[in-house]
Amino acid sequence: MVYRTHSLLKSRKAQFFVLSAFTIVTILYLISGWVEPYTIIDTSSVVLMEETFVFNNIVEKANETIHISKTPEDLRYNIQEYKNFAEEYALGKNFKLTFDTSKLVIGNPTTGSIFIQMSSPRMMMNRTLAVSKSFQ
């Protein structure tokens, strides 16, 4: 017994199905390419706004500078050097940095606070570091 089947390529229904599927896929591809730029989140603005990162780093390193100092004289020198470095660095980035150590009483123990304020054309941030350190 011999059965005769129609080839898929010769069948009109199969041709219509393949052509329809190709057309639908092509249309969906073109639509996705047109809509895609609106679905990508642009995170470059966060990277370009580096003020918060710079400010947090300055505060963290000021705190670290206090803790690594071994004597009151060492602390006085390290704070002044760090203040000069941080102000110069901020100025190079077009930020205005205020590093106020007038309320810091350096001795044994060292107590007081350091006021750090940084401003840029977009924002202004400030923080007060409480300092309490005893030297041995």
Which helix H or strand E contains 110, and what residues bound it? Answer: strand 110-119
pLDDT at residue 31 in the model = 87
Residues linked to residue 44 through DSSP beta bridges, in sequence order: none
pLDDT at 95: 93
Q: Are 51 and 123 contacting, i.e. CB atoms less than 8 angstroms apart?
A: yes
Instruction: Give pLDDT, residue 42.
Output: 73
Q: What is the pLDDT of residue 7?
A: 57
Phi, psi of 115 (to 5 degrees): -100, 125
* pLDDT value, residue 62: 94
What pLDDT is attached to residue 41?
Answer: 75
* Grouped pLDDT means (10 residues each) for the chain, 136 residues: 56 82 92 76 74 93 93 93 95 92 89 94 92 86
pLDDT at res. 55 = 94
Task: Check residue 2 and give its pLDDT.
Answer: 57
98-134 in b/e burial notation, b at 16+ Cβ within 10 A?
ebebeebebeeebeebbebebbbeeeebeeeeebeee
Closest CA to 63 of 33, 86, 46: 86
- C-alpha to C-alpha distance for 52 and 110, rounded to whole angstroms: 28
Q: Where are the domains of the chain?
A: 12-39, 49-133
